[in-house]
Amino acid sequence: MISSAAARERLDRLWSRGRALLGVDIAVMGGAMTWVSERNLVAAISNAGGFGVIACGSMEPDRLREEIRATRGLTAKPFGVNLIVMHPGLLDLAAVCIEERVGHVVLAGGLPPTDCLQVLRGGGCKVIAFAPALAIARKLQRSGIDALVIEGSEAGGHIGAVSTAVLAQEILPAVREVPIFVAGGIGRGEAVLAYLEMGASGVQLGTRFVCATESIAHPRFKRAFLRAAARDAVPSPQLDPRFPVIPVRALANAGTARFVAFQREVIQRFDDGELSREQALLQIERYWAGALRRAVIEGDVENGSLMAGQSVALVTREQPTREIIEELLDQAIARMQGRDAASPPVRRAAE
């Protein structure tokens, strides 16, 4: 059996490209979760050796600038910013990232516009984008993107149609030119190791960090996660194939039904010519931001949005961010040593 030190050395080699790209010791990116991935959690992930990412969501430029500066006041380590490409002020947000010397920007919610890529790259930012299919991964790589994230349907929030395991098998062997981070349904170190051995340069986790001690999520929001099983995290339905709405995976509650009604209203306004497709998509994005705030900040777990990935079943207790990351490392190293790492005790919240 190899020693723990030798296993850690091998782990570092496996994700060396990811570590070099992000400038961190541990190539674990924090998933950008609106209202959750703010200064406290982002700084905690970076301070623990990973790579925190601010969720810009529907923020305006001045608000994003404030969050970047506040995060920098909590950590001297690298962190990034996630921008939604459908945001009408995308270029202004990109300019803020450049002015504030953010080293990495993650573009989500669609194909990155060429002008935004040019602005960010011209300003010295490394750009990371999401690839939901092999053809898109190749297109993004040719566009000069610095790294990719492939995120499967097990993830929380906005999701695609293909599972993480299938995406990894499709894309990792075929795209070697840029580092690739795997996301969706990852909650233990054994899974991290498996994707690294398949060719990934790192991973991205969101749901696993919601119940971190440093997360500002409301106690009731965290309690909902601690009580949930994997099957409780379900995707929202799409009502009309003429108007493709990106499904959102969340714990089912009254807010889930409310989103269906809201979707119907937006589609009708789109049909009536009141909204363009871009305006309608942005309204839906803002709906989720508001619904998320009700749940995350105000603790309204019945009417707010409880975005969660299926790995919510692996969130068993509230614990410090550093401990979560160390647990992932211990589990990966134990697997390399041919033994099973002790599972954390399952502590479900009291009813």
Asked whether residue 350 is domain-assigned, the answer is no
- Kindly tell me the sign of the dihedral angle through the C-alpha atoms of 33, 192, 165, 141: positive
With respect to residue 115, please indicate whether it lies within any of the assigned structural domains.
yes
Same structural domain for residues 331 and 269? no
Instruction: Quote the CA–CA distance of 18 and 16 in Å, as a whole number.
Output: 5
Please check whether residues 191 and 125 belong to one and the same domain: yes
Is 305 among the domain residues? Answer: no
At 349 the three-state DSSP class reads coil
Residues 142 and 268 in one domain: no
Examine the domain organization and report whether 54 and 200 are in the same domain: yes
What pLDDT, on a 0 to 100 scale, did the predictor assign at position 71?
A: 98
Strand partners of residue 29 = 51, 204
HEC profile of 246-315 = CCEEEECCHHHHHHHHHHHHHHHHHHCCCCCHHHHHHHHHHHHHHHHHHHHCCCCCCCCCCECCHHHHHC
What's the number of domains the chain is made of? 2
Average of per-residue pLDDT across 299-307 = 94
Same domain, 135 and 249: no
Give me the domain span that covers residue 257.
219-296
In this prediction, residue 277 has a pLDDT band, given cuts at 50, 70 and 90, of confident
Chain segment 117-143, per-residue pLDDT in tens: 999 999 999 999 999 999 999 999 999
Looking at the domain assignment, is residue 164 inside a domain? yes
Give pTM, 2 decimals.
0.91
Same-domain pairing of 196 and 269? no
Same domain, 258 and 330: no
26 with 76, same domain? Answer: yes
Does residue 21 sit in the same domain as residue 143?
yes
Same domain? 140 vs 105: yes
Amino acid at 138: R
| The pLDDT of residue 245 | 62
Radius of gyration of the chain (CA): 19
- At 341 the pLDDT is 64
Asked, for residue 117, whether it belongs to a domain, the answer is yes
Q: Provide the pLDDT confidence category of residue 316 given band limits of 50, 70 and 90.
A: very high
Lowest mean pLDDT among 55-64, 69-78, 334-343: 334-343
